[in-house]
Amino acid sequence: MNSIENIVREFLRTYHAENKQLLLGLSGGPDSLLLFHLFDSMQIPFAVAHIDHGWRQGSGREAKILREMVEEKGYRFHFLRLSSSEGNSEDEARQERRAFFTELCRVWGYQAVVLGHHADDQAETVLKRILEGANLTAMGALVPAVNHGKLAIWRPLLHVRKRDILSWLKEHEYVPFDDHTNRDPKFLRSRMRMTVIPNLEQQFGKQVAGSLVRVGEEAQELANYLDRRISDVLQYLRQGPIGAYIDTSEAGVLDPYEVRYLIRKVASLEKITLSRAALATATEHLVKGAANKESVSGSRRVYVDRGVIFALAMPIPSCEPISFSSPGVYRTGAWELEVKEGDEYRKTDWRDLWMGNGTVTVPADAYCVALPVMNEEFAGKASISKWWSDHKVPCFLRKKVPVLWGEQGIVAEWMTGKNRQREKKDDWIVNIKLLKYK
């Protein structure tokens, strides 16, 4: 069997850029303490980050002991104490930890934060997700190396059992802190560790941790395979202030299972979790090329419209009418207008507007920016609605995006790119921008 030293050394050989400093998340528990002493003995360039959650007495004293140990070895010690208020939930604490690590890596240039999660943690996470009914690809749970935004997170001990970590520490005469909250039944993780998995093993008559880890590994392999399958279509993914969208019409034919995975992935970019029923319905609509189909998750929306997937974290903001008769910058709600003279012209449509900017050119005159009236005539068509339909503008945008009104009705819109180009020196260029509103 591979020694823990060899496992960690091989991990670092795979991921670590030579001479690049790492940030070790050190709690003082067995897992991170082992990594501290291994990194020290291997002469890995690293610094330490310690977070005191304030959940138990004595944590301040432990932080002081760790600081002395780390600084005595000549390593930099970063410290954060979190609020111990009742509202400081496990999820909130996780977000604060991640923000702390991200900022440290940004300021000090650390390549990654290294955490001590091990095989038993992986088993607990996989079982929890199975019991919660998570989709198969989400059961990959913890992964050895992953990026969360600008933060790289490494877990070199995922193939090491907790009992082996404890044996290593005992052999080398290192004594970790005993965090009694790891046995506190008010935390789900503690109940999984202390009660659920031991009871399963007792009733089943076999060790289950290794099997759960293998389930997680195969689930991750499935997710990796699906990522490769949809990689071609992902090049069409776009994210702007409105949300995320992806046009699948240019991609090859995807299997419905791959389509479902793609929809879930796009939705997750806007932190949208669809129910199984909603996801199945959206998948069916995309496969059939249906138009203007909506799936709802609280205030969030996923639309499927003729091969395009749209994910909106929040409703598109409304627009109160605003008039102008001279160049300048005008604001109505989350929409901003810039009216200017000039000789530039850029052809834009709803895709540009989704990304934040749209442009039209109109004669210098008095105008009003307001929401459209769908049966209003426009460009020789019976209605603006028919105009947008002919140009395949997504249905759900049509009543939400303002248009330019003149004395005779609607004179311009920003969603087709079919408005007239600059013709006269006294024409105005009217740019519209959706400001960040989430």
Q: What is the pLDDT along the chain (438 residues), one digit of tens a residue?
A: 479 999 999 999 999 998 899 999 999 999 999 999 999 999 999 999 999 877 667 778 999 999 999 999 999 999 998 875 544 466 777 889 999 999 999 999 999 999 999 999 999 999 999 998 888 998 877 889 999 889 999 999 999 999 999 999 999 999 998 777 677 777 787 888 888 988 998 888 888 888 999 999 999 999 999 999 999 999 999 999 889 999 998 777 789 999 999 999 999 999 999 999 999 999 999 999 999 999 988 888 999 999 999 999 888 888 899 999 999 999 998 899 999 987 666 778 999 999 988 999 888 999 999 999 999 999 777 899 999 999 999 999 999 999 999 998 999 999 998 865 445 556 899 999 988 755
Query: What pLDDT is attached to residue 201?
Result: 87
Residues 6+ apart with CB under 8 A from 377: 383, 384, 409, 410
CB 15 within 8 A of CB 110: no
Q: Which residues contact 135 (CB under 8 A, 6 or more apart)?
A: 264
**In 3-state terms, what secondary structure has residue 434?**
strand
Q: What is the CA radius of gyration of the chain?
A: 28
DSSP state of 156: T
- The Cα 369–Cα 165 span in angstroms is 66
* Cα–Cα distance measured from residue 305 to residue 41, given in angstroms and rounded to the nearest whole number: 58
Closest to 244 (Cα-Cα) out of 272, 270, 263: 270
Whole-model pTM? 0.81
Predicted pLDDT of residue 87: 45
Q: 247-281 burial by CB neighbour count: b if 16+ within 10 A, else e?
A: bbeebeebeeebbbbbbbbbbeebebebeeebbeb
Contact 283, 220 (CB under 8 A): no
CA-CA distance, 16 to 44, in Å (whole number)? 10
Angle at alpha carbon of residue 39, lines to 15 and 218, rounded to 5°: 45
State both tokens at 63: 């932080």
Instruction: Give the pLDDT confidence score for residue 280 in this predicted structure.
Output: 95
Distance, first Cα to last Cα, the chain: 51
What is the C-alpha to C-alpha distance for residues 195 and 408, in angstroms, rounded to an integer? Answer: 74
Cβ neighbours of residue 253 closer than 8 Å, sequence gap 6 or more: none
